[in-house]
Amino acid sequence: MEEEHKIGGRYEVDVCMDLDVTEAAESDDLSKTVDYEQVYRIAKGVVMGNSSYLIERLAHRIGGAVLEASPRVQRVEVTVRKPNPPVNGPVERAEVSVRLAR
């Protein structure tokens, strides 16, 4: 596990956001919704930034950063998956979901 911490690993991230989309849906105006490119950059920045031992920490940091950067988002659920985690057995992936709200 220490070696993986040093060299990094592969992760999969899902970010589900709860927000009122009425204004965006009625106007078809991108400025009335969430900037999904920004959400992607946030998730990538957290995963590629300071190393973490726990996928729980990654999920929590991504969720907090999304809430901070996106005032329209009321609740966020972040799922982080680690394919082929370093455990003594045939495990396809480890996965954790974190839910945060304003």
The domain tally of the chain equals 1
CATH of the domain at 35: 3.30.1130.10
Residue 1 above 80 pLDDT? no
Q: Active-site residue numbers? A: 82
pTM: 0.88
Task: Dump pLDDT digits (tens) for 42-58.
Answer: 999 999 998 888 999 99
Cα distances (angstroms) measured from residue 16 to each of 21, 69, 90, 100:
14, 15, 29, 11
* Contact assessment for residue 93 and residue 78, using Cβ atoms and an 8 Å cutoff: no
The range of the structural domain enclosing residue 72 comes to 2-101
The fraction of the chain above a pLDDT of 90, given in percent, is 82
Convert the pLDDT of each residue in 73-97 to its tens digit. 999 999 999 999 888 999 999 999 9
Written in H, E and C, the secondary structure of 27-51 is HCCHHHCCCHHHHHHHHHHHHHCCC
Residue 4, pLDDT above cutoff 70: no
